[in-house]
């Protein structure tokens, strides 16, 4: 018996045999070398190279000339006409997009350096960027299908895992997840917590464990115990602190506390029925789909969730957001032109319309709030509103019943914060996404776990926009469940909190305590707003928070 340690991501204790998944060290797969549809490969290459170059230009920090020069050079090299023509020629001769890009781009880099001597110091970084782009062209579905079919309970151990890969497995048999890599703020972490699967990341050399070895996963203490004795297993498993009681007395609550739900666990359906959907992250229900879902298939997923929700509980659903690590198994078609060209949620008009219609139809006889994520332009906001109206008009003309609709927008980027006064005028609620804002607040460094002055400023700016337009203000993301921040949220006028089902009990208990002890009511405090806007030090912000508590 021995113990490995890491970073606890999702609490809990479980025991099962290890299932170790390690990728084989193959430089190329057969699928990467040859393709039978050069038109699809060409189209994939053109779209992804354009998008990758666009992202490189967008993330440039203008205060750092060296970074701007490097990323600008990478974008220019990637989209140069000569390289583009050479790659397309190889694709038409039978190469896959990834193989053609690898052959042309990596071989042409040396010549590129000869004519750009100022980039010699950045040689490795530029090569790394090209390899990163080439990786996006790979046939990822081929890797995902290699995941095993689970027929018994296991502790899943691998180097890294995406939400789509996890959800393509029978999660009822996954009793725990151990990763050598992983990212605390990543979306896989959210899914694991929602499904109640104990998980530990950053476990060095975890994949050296042999499959079938008995594992005791104590995610409460961030420990992976390999080949434990039965006595130790029984002792630790008996200490499980399972949540099983619901709070039914709503009289002490003066704000709405709803469940954040993505990958729905059937065991928590009763919990959702009582407390509602504070925010349904709809993309998680379809990440494991191998083909783009139809309108009817979406209704089949949405209706069981909506239909049992109690009358006074919220139904709030966010439209698809396939950004970052939330890539589905099917190919998502985005808009090449128009207001949603380059839309941050990485989804196009056709699929969005199908989803809006499905959400409206699945909520027939109920009230639903549809939330649009990652809006960074007023033109995007206006277009998304027009799509919602168009869907309502179509369903009315087709005499198809649908739910009463309210519109909300996620405020989760600096652009959305600055545009919040204009966004608030066209919605009934704004929900501040604290997880994403925290990442932007600390960029280009890793996300800060602390509640920083920059993050606080963005939150109060959005809150003021909601107050000035008399719009409901919600808080979501990892800071929404920080109970010490509740007085702060109250004094910004927050009346809607979105937390994971695993945090509902803790947050409701604290809200009840605040209401009993301090008789707090959500109301925007102009003095607090000014104090935060004039705060630039973490120590000063801590003093403000401590006074509120």
CATH of the domain at 299: 3.20.20.60
Q: Residues of the chain with pLDDT > 70: what percent? A: 86
pLDDT band at residue 121 under the 50/70/90 scheme: low
Q: What is the pLDDT of residue 138?
A: 66
The verdict on residue 246 lying in a domain is no
Poorest-confidence range of 225-229, 239-243, 453-457?
239-243
State how far the Cα of 349 lies from the Cα of 234, in Å rounded to an integer.
53
The residues, any chain, with a CB within 8 Å of residue 331's CB and separated by 6 or more, are 292
State how far the Cα of 203 lies from the Cα of 225, in Å rounded to an integer.
12
Tell me whether residue 442 is exposed, middle or buried, using C-beta atoms within 10 angstroms of its C-beta: 0 to 12, 13 to 18, 19 or more.
middle
Poorest-confidence range of 277-281, 288-292, 337-341, 410-414?
288-292
CATH number for the domain harbouring residue 209: 3.50.30.10
Domain encompassing residue 507: 253-548
The residues, any chain, with a CB within 8 Å of residue 508's CB and separated by 6 or more, are 247, 253, 257
Q: What are phi and psi of 248, to 5 degrees?
A: -100, -15
Helices 414-424 and 378-397 cross at an angle (nearest 10°) of: 50
Burial state string for 320-337 with b = 16 or more CB within 10 A and e = fewer than 16 = bbbbeebbbbbeeebbee
pLDDT single digits (tens) 392-424: 999 999 999 999 999 999 999 999 999 999 999
Q: What is the pLDDT of residue 326?
A: 84
Here the tokens at position 77 are 């090299």
Which H, E and C letters describe 95-113, residue by residue? Answer: ECHHHHHHHHHHHHHHHHH
Q: What is the pLDDT of residue 312?
A: 83
Residues 9 and 151 in one domain: yes
| Residues 98 and 138 sit within 8 Å (Cβ to Cβ) | yes
Q: What is the pLDDT of residue 143?
A: 41
The verdict on residue 523 lying in a domain is yes
Pick from 88, 109, 138: which residue ends a domain? 138
The verdict on residue 301 lying in a domain is yes
63 pLDDT exceeds 50? no
The verdict on residue 424 lying in a domain is yes
The verdict on residue 385 lying in a domain is yes
Poorest-confidence range of 5-14, 187-196, 239-248?
239-248
Residues 162 and 293 in one domain: no
CA dihedral over 21, 23, 29, 35, signed as positive or negative: positive
Q: Residues of the chain with pLDDT > 90: what percent? A: 49
pLDDT single digits (tens) 472-526: 999 999 899 999 999 999 999 999 999 988 788 889 888 888 888 887 889 999 9
Residues 214 and 273 in one domain: no
Residues 530 and 445 in one domain: yes
Here the tokens at position 352 are 């969005």
Task: Look at strands 277-281 and 256-261 and give their pairing.
Answer: parallel
Residues 422 and 391 in one domain: yes
Residues 538 and 508 in one domain: yes
3-state secondary structure of 204: coil
State how far the Cα of 45 lies from the Cα of 22, in Å rounded to an integer.
28
The verdict on residue 247 lying in a domain is no
168 pLDDT exceeds 70? yes
Here the tokens at position 12 are 């809990």
| Residues 436 and 413 sit within 8 Å (Cβ to Cβ) | yes
Here the tokens at position 455 are 């993050």
| Residues 423 and 468 sit within 8 Å (Cβ to Cβ) | no
Residues 391 and 488 in one domain: yes
The verdict on residue 482 lying in a domain is yes
Q: What is the pLDDT of residue 32?
A: 42
Pick from 82, 117, 138: which residue ends a domain? 138
The verdict on residue 242 lying in a domain is no
Poorest-confidence range of 7-11, 22-26, 314-318, 329-333?
22-26
Average confidence (pLDDT) over 263-291: 80
Here the tokens at position 431 are 């929900």
Q: What is the pLDDT of residue 64?
A: 43
73 pLDDT exceeds 60? yes
Which H or E run includes 65?
helix 65-79
The model carries a pTM of: 0.69
Residues 290 and 361 in one domain: yes
Q: What is the pLDDT of residue 268?
A: 61
3-state secondary structure of 445: coil
The residues, any chain, with a CB within 8 Å of residue 93's CB and separated by 6 or more, are none
pLDDT single digits (tens) 438-487: 989 988 887 777 899 999 999 999 999 999 999 999 999 989 999 999 99
Here the tokens at position 364 are 């027939």
Residue 89 preceded by cis peptide, ω within 30: no
130 pLDDT exceeds 60? yes
| Residues 306 and 363 sit within 8 Å (Cβ to Cβ) | yes
Average pLDDT, the chain: 85
pLDDT band at residue 29 under the 50/70/90 scheme: very low
Pick from 83, 112, 138: which residue ends a domain? 138
Which H or E run includes 217?
strand 214-218
Site of tokens 């190279």: 49
**Number of domains present in the structure of the chain:** 3
Residues 330 and 385 in one domain: yes
Residues 41 and 11 in one domain: no
Q: What is the pLDDT of residue 381?
A: 97
CATH number for the domain harbouring residue 131: 1.10.274.10
Residues 110 and 175 in one domain: no
188 or 28, greater pLDDT = 188
| Residues 364 and 401 sit within 8 Å (Cβ to Cβ) | yes
Residues 131 and 158 in one domain: no
Cα separations in angstroms, 460 against 111, 120, 360, 374, 530: 51, 45, 32, 19, 9
């Amino acid at each position: 018996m021995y113990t490995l340690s890491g970073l606890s991501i999702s609490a809990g204790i479980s025991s099962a045999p290890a299932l170790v998944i390690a990728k084989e060290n193959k430089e190329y797969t057969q699928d990467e070398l040859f393709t039978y549809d050069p038109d699809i490969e060409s189209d994939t290459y053109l779209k992804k190279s354009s998008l990758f170059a666009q992202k490189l230009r967008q993330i440039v920090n203008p205060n750092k000339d060296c970074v701007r020069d490097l990323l600008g050079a990478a974008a220019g090299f990637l989209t140069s006409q000569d390289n583009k023509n050479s790659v397309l020629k190889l694709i038409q001769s039978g190469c896959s997009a990834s193989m053609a890009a690898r052959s042309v781009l990596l071989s042409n880099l040396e010549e590129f350096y000869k004519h750009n001597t100022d980039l010699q110091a950045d040689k490795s970084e530029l090569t790394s960027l090209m390899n990163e782009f080439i990786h996006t062209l790979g046939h990822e579905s081929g890797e995902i299908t290699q995941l095993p079919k689970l027929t018994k309970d296991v502790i899943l151990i691998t180097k890294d895992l995406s939400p789509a890969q996890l959800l393509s497995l029978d999660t009822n048999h996954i009793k725990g997840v151990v990763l050598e890599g992983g990212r605390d703020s990543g979306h896989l972490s959210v899914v694991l917590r929602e499904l109640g699967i104990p998980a530990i990341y950053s476990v060095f050399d975890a994949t050296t464990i042999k499959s079938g070895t008995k594992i005791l996963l104590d995610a409460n203490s961030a420990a992976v115990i390999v080949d434990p004795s039965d006595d130790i297993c029984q002792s630790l498993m008996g200490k499980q602190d399972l949540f099983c009681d619901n709070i039914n007395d709503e009289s002490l609550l003066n704000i709405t506390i709803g469940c954040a739900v993505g990958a729905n666990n059937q065991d928590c359906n009763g919990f959702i029925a009582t407390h509602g959907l504070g925010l349904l992250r709809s993309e998680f229900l379809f990440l494991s789909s191998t083909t783009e879902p139809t309108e009817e298939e979406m209704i089949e997923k949405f209706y069981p969730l909506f239909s049992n929700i109690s009358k006074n509980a919220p139904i709030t659903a966010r439209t698809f957001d396939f950004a970052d690590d939330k890539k589905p198994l099917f190919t998502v078609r985005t808009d090449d032109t128009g207001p949603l060209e380059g839309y941050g949620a990485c989804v196009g008009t056709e699929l969005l319309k199908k989803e809006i219609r499905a959400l409206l139809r699945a909520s027939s006889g109920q009230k639903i709030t549809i939330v649009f994520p990652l809006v960074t332009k007023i033109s995007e906001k206006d277009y998304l509103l027009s799509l919602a109206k168009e869907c309502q008009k179509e369903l009315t003309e087709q005499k198809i019943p649908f739910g009463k609709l309210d519109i909300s927008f996620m405020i989760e980027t600096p652009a959305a914060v600055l545009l919040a006064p204009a966004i608030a005028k066209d919605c009934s609620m704004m929900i501040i996404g604290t997880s994403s804002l925290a990442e932007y607040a600390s960029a280009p460094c890793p996300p800060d776990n602390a509640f920083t002055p920059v993050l606080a400023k963005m939150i109060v700016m959005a809150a003021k926009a909601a107050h000035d337009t008399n719009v409901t203000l919600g808080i979501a993301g990892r800071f929404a469940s920080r109970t010490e921040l509740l007085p702060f949220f109250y004094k910004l006028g927050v009346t809607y909190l979105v937390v994971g089902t695993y945090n509902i009990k803790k947050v409701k208990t604290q809200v009840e305590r605040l209401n009993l002890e301090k008789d707090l009511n959500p109301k925007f405090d102009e003095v607090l707003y000014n104090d935060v806007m004039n705060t630039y030090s973490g120590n000063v912000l801590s003093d403000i928070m401590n006074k509120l508590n």
